[in-house]
Structures are given as C-alpha cells and as structure tokens.
A = this chain, B = another copy of it.
Amino acid sequence: MALEHAILVSLLEKPGSGYELARRFERSIGYFWTATHQQIYRVLGRMEADGRLIVREVRQQGRPDKKEYSVAAPGRTALSAWLHKPIEPESLRHDLAVKIRGAAFDDPAALIREVERHHQEHRDRLARYLAGERRDFPGSDPAAPSETPDAGRELQHVVLRGGIAFERMTIAWLDDVLATLHRLRAGPVP
C-alpha cells in the first residue's frame, strides 16, 4: 500500500490539508501516483488515528477552515522502514492495450478515434510536465548542477524526468498504433 507512503512523502515535503493533497495528486505527484479525495480523506483519518500524523485546525478567512496534517515521528519511522524494504518491480495495467488486441474481433478502424483521444491527452500531459520543469527546474540542463546540490530537488527532478520520458514513449507508441490501424484499414482493400 503505497498511498500511505506517498502521503507521508508529500506531507514531509510540505504539510497540508486533504484537499491540498488531492490537488497535489492531480499535479506533481500525479505522474507517479493517483488518488481521489475520498481515498485521501479516509487514509488521512486512519493515519491520524494510528498516530502517524498530527492535525492542526487552521481557521481561514473567506474560505472554509481546514485541517492541516503533518508527519509525526512514528510516520517518519514507518516511511523509513518501507524505504529499506525491497518492493517488487511493477507491471503495467493498460486498458488501451486490451482494447487494441480486442479490436481484432471487432472493427480495428473504429478504434482510431479513441487512440487519437489518448494521444492528445498524453501530449497535453507532456506539455504540462515540460512547463512544470521549466518553471521549477530552470537552467539545470548543463549537466553541472554544481551550485548547491539539494537532494530533495534533484530527486524531484529525476522523478519528473521519468514522467516526461513515460509520456514521450507513450506518444511515440500511439503513433505506431495509429500507423498500424491505418495500414490495416488500407491493406485489406486492394
């Protein structure tokens, strides 16, 4: 169960409310983990009951009050223990690939629109990630981040580069898929 750990990491980077966490899971954390607010609130409640988090009621003006969570000592210990325990390399779960193989038993051409939609969505994500990189990591290309090597920043950046690499790979693959679908439509006609 890595949601718990993802929350610990995010709250260590910066304390925040359930709502704020949900937003982070839509943005920065979104390129390696997703979670909805319902799930986040439930897990936050449990983690607080377990003593891994502490809550602070924050009164706000012009906005609803919020509960700001931060990591307690047992939470840090739990994260550390998890970090030192090996995990299994994960496998993909890709619905679209199931559809592509399923198209052999239906009309492959009918899938073109769907694949184009996914293609567009991944291009959008890539654009967002690249914009985020320019914003948060400007001028770190020259391979010499000799200034102040901040471990947290470096690690955030390498994870972001992973998200970018994933989107680029996916876009290239979807190009391949589209070419294949078009070939199948054009091929059996002669």
A interface residues (Cβ-Cβ under 8 A, vs B): 2, 5-6, 8-9, 12-13, 30-34, 76, 79-80, 82-84, 86-87, 89-106, 108, 110-111, 114, 117-118, 121-122, 149, 151-152, 154-159, 161-163, 165-166, 168-169, 172-173, 176-177, 180, 183-184, 187-188
Contacts and interface: CB of A to CB of B under 8 A. Distances in A.
B155 A12 contact: no
Contacts of A154: 180, 183-184
Contact of A173 (B89, B114, B161): B161
A28 to B, nearest CB: 9
Contact of A102 (B83, B98, B168): B83
Nearest to A161: B176
Contacts of A108: 151, 155
Contacts of A94: 32-33, 90, 162
A99 B83 contact: yes
A34 B97 contact: no
Given A82-B102, A149-B188, A154-B184, 6 more contacts: A9-B101, A12-B102, A32-B93, A83-B106, A104-B152, A149-B184
A92 B149 contact: no
